Structure 1
Amino acid sequence: MSVNYASGLSAYKNKGRCGGKEYLDSEKKLRAKCTELCDLIKKSKYCVIHCGAGLSTAAGIPDFRGPNGIWTLEKNGRSLDENKLKSFAECVPTYAHMAIIALIQNSYVKHVVSQNIDGLFLKANIDRQNISELHGNYFIDRCSNCRLQFIRNRPSPTMCCQPTGDNCSQCSMPLHDTILDWNDNLPEEELETAEQHSNRCDLSICLGTSLQIQPANELPLIAIEKSDQGKLVIINLQRTKFHNYANLVIHHYIDKVFELISENLGIKVDRYDPNLDPTKSTKDLVLWKSNKHLQ
């Protein structure tokens, strides 16, 4: 899980600001802010959601820079008890993951740009063309020869773009995991697609991200840099360095925010269904179609 992911990365000192204070809006303030957010969503013609580790903490996956985050504890000479944590295979999408799928299906959200490697959007059965995963996915292998991607029915045994032991069903060449190390370049196709959607975006919503890692932290700002009409919303328990640029900042738990959003917009949010989860396939590897680039 994320503890093993963090320990598998190369040594790297500049992990950003860790352990910042968390804030929680009052119920009254939260409801007022969610009403304002829903108004922005209704007016938006091209909304893009940008996700960080804070989105998945409700699924039992620890974040990195929160008060009890992996790197915060590491900085203080402590560590998480791995025996008390769920594996990536056990974790399932949160209410917010499923609500985002519903927002896409109801044409409120056009695209998701994710820094998370947990595969929870994949488990929620997101359409391939609706997501860019900048840092990889433990449930996706990639063929470096024909560039096809395959869904795994178990987490990758490797990381840092190493051979996983499986071969491409199309060209028989070795498959590699998609999990990046600190100094790896972002996958070109994923970044290109994320940039294309960000350039069309008029509403960027940032969820559970400290907005410290480049270039992912630059993409949400495109909406407000290219037009006075562009809007930036940050939903995070901690402050970020971009708070002063945001049109709206919500300090609350992401699942609660999306419960209020779905209620306000009148959209039905389905429960996670393992029968629709492509990582539960009886086949070892299932082809995941490549990004359909914007015209």
Structure 2
Amino acid sequence: MSSLGYAQRLAWKEDVGGTLGSEEIHFESERVEQLAKELADVIREAGKIDDDDTKKKKKKKTGVIVHTGAGISTAAGIPDFRGPKGIWTLQKAGENLPTSSVPFPLASPTVTHMVLCGLQKAGYIRYVVSCNVDGLHYRSGIPREEVGELHGNCFAERCETCECEYFRDFEMESVGFKYTGRRCRRKECAGKLRDQVLDWDDALPEPELCRAENEAKKAKLALVLGSSLQIVPSGDLPLLTIPDARYKKRKRSSLSSSGGKNKKTVTRKTTGGQLAIVNLQATEKDQFADLVVHAKTDQVMLQVAKYLNIEIPDYVRKDAFGVRYVAHASNEDNEDKRIHLKVQIVSQHFESDHDIPVPWLEDIDVKSIPKWVKVKNLEQETKRVGGLFVCKTFEFMRMFSDFLNDDDDDEEIVFEIKPNARLNSSPTISTTRSSRALQRLLERVTKGEKLTLSSCEESETIDNIETHVVRYQQKR
């Protein structure tokens, strides 16, 4: 599913509210560079977050609260919604809808995402408030608790019992907090999981909305990146940072441009902060801003990082897959008894009742397991659902007497991985891992479990596989 798929899963709404297809404004590069320098100065003046600020209960406004919209993800190949070629713009015009240039699960964070990660690590950012559902802030390295995902996340599902949230490498197939069919993995819970993407009439998550409001009032600078600020209340949150006198006489109806997301409006007063907006289109909040830059966010934030001497982190994508080991014995006497081992590659989020896709994986081969013989002609074809890898099974064999007398229980398994070509990764990745799960299984076998009556099963996750690395160029 792409952002287009997400939009198609929403309940049909002919009027999505607000303005669609406004003309894009591109400042000349020299002007952008000058404004980026001014923005860097404003961020520097806002200061870094004082760890003792909360303890001392200081009232001084410090740091930056960042508000992000679809415009920061277009460079990742994900269409926006309200731009001249946005999803809702073309939908209203009755034209063919745009397509993503990369599958949603394979999208990489943009320069803007990674500069924000660098700013967050440097201590400038109080909180990131996002209306995006693409999960790229999470992938960039910003801690989940430091991002308020007001409209949800296509890759998240949450337990309705214990509130535990799971971030997946595949997209949810629904929106509107519907049951996904999976259950919580926490001990003594097993509650049902729901998707975490808002539909039109769903209320914003109250804890994250409340924190966004609180951090907005404490911040010295509200920085808007790639958002037209047309959805209420998220579009009004930046106003909490600036002096109330700037806009207190302005009439703001709770129904105006709400798009049905949430009827709550921002009405609390605040003083002393500044507002900066970086967006290709003009917004209604430009009149209240101290700084407005009409340019692509990547162009601006790359310059900001340079002027603030912020190190832009490399994006290193790390993936994982699950392995199931199932052993059973042949019916011969002990002298001729053989142990058959089935090795099944599945999603790290494997559940027996569901076909879970592994979008990043194109194919995989189990090259070898020491002392085991790979059984030819029994390897199953790779199973796919909707073109995505789901599972693959291999079979190995070993004489029972061989490992009964084998003191070396350090079994290593070699995987040859072929990542999805859309990741622009290496054609193949080889990884050798010591299989603890396989060791446990063989220990059970040697203790005399009756394999003729039932099979033994173990599973493990093979993780931290570097499937994609992006280094963001930064001119000095």
Q: Is the shorter-chain TM-score for this pair beyond 0.5, marking a shared fold?
A: yes
- Work out the CA distance in 1 between the residues paired with 2:101 and 2:33: 32
- Counterpart for residue 62 of structure 1: 79
Whether the 8 Å contact between 2:159 and 2:193 is mirrored in structure 1 is yes
- Work out the CA distance in 2 between the residues paired with 1:107 and 1:94: 20
Summarize the alignment of residues 206-245 of structure 1 with structure 2, pairs less than 5 Å apart. 206-224=224-242, 225=244, 226-245=269-288
Shift of 1:32: 1.3
Which stretch shows the higher mean deviation, 220-229 or 206-215?
220-229
Partner-residue secondary structure (3-state), 1:181: coil
Shift of 1:81: 4.9
Mind listing any 5+ residue stretches in structure 2 that lack a counterpart? 47-61, 245-268, 322-347, 351-460, 462-476
4+ residue stretches of structure 1 with deviation over 4 A? none
1:174 aligns with 2:217: no
Measured on the aligned residues, the alpha-carbon RMSD in Å equals 1.6
TM-score by length of 2: 0.57
Which stretch shows the higher mean deviation, 222-231 or 191-200?
222-231
- Work out the CA distance in 2 between the residues paired with 1:174 and 1:199: 36
One-letter code of the match for 2:125?
Answer: V
- Work out the CA distance in 2 between the residues paired with 1:255 and 1:81: 21
- Of the three residues 192, 200, 203, the one matched with 2:218 is 200
Shift of 1:80: 2.5
One-letter code of the match for 2:219?
Answer: C
For residues 36 and 152 of structure 1, do their structure 2 counterparts lie closer, same or farther at Cα, with a shift above 3 Å needed?
Answer: same
TM-score by length of 1: 0.91
One-letter code of the match for 1:232?
Answer: L
Of structures 1 and 2, the one with the larger relative CO (CA 8 A, separation 6+) is 1
Shift of 1:227: 4.8
- Deviation by residue 1:97-151 (Cα, 9 ceiling, x = unmatched): 0110000001121210000000111111211221110000011111121111111
- Work out the CA distance in 2 between the residues paired with 1:101 and 1:281: 23
Whether the 8 Å contact between 1:93 and 1:272 is mirrored in structure 2 is yes
Summarize the alignment of residues 73-152 of structure 1 with structure 2, pairs less than 5 Å apart. 73-82=90-99, 85-152=101-168
Whether the 8 Å contact between 2:152 and 2:196 is mirrored in structure 1 is yes
- Deviation by residue 1:65-120 (Cα, 9 ceiling, x = unmatched): 001000111111112354x6322112110011011000000112121000000011
Whether the 8 Å contact between 1:54 and 1:63 is mirrored in structure 2 is yes
- Work out the CA distance in 2 between the residues paired with 1:228 and 1:196: 13
Shift of 1:228: 4.9
More strand per residue: 1 or 2?
Answer: 2
- Counterpart for residue 33 of structure 1: 35
- Counterpart for residue 292 of structure 1: none
1:284 aligns with 2:349: yes
1:9 aligns with 2:27: no
- Work out the CA distance in 1 between the residues paired with 2:229 and 2:17: 12
Whether the 8 Å contact between 1:70 and 1:79 is mirrored in structure 2 is no
Shift of 1:194: 1.4
For residues 30 and 248 of structure 1, do their structure 2 counterparts lie closer, same or farther at Cα, with a shift above 3 Å needed?
Answer: same
- Work out the CA distance in 1 between the residues paired with 2:29 and 2:42: 20
- Work out the CA distance in 2 between the residues paired with 1:38 and 1:125: 22
One-letter code of the match for 2:349?
Answer: D
Partner-residue secondary structure (3-state), 1:284: coil
Q: Which has the larger radius of gyration?
A: 2
Shift of 1:9: 1.0
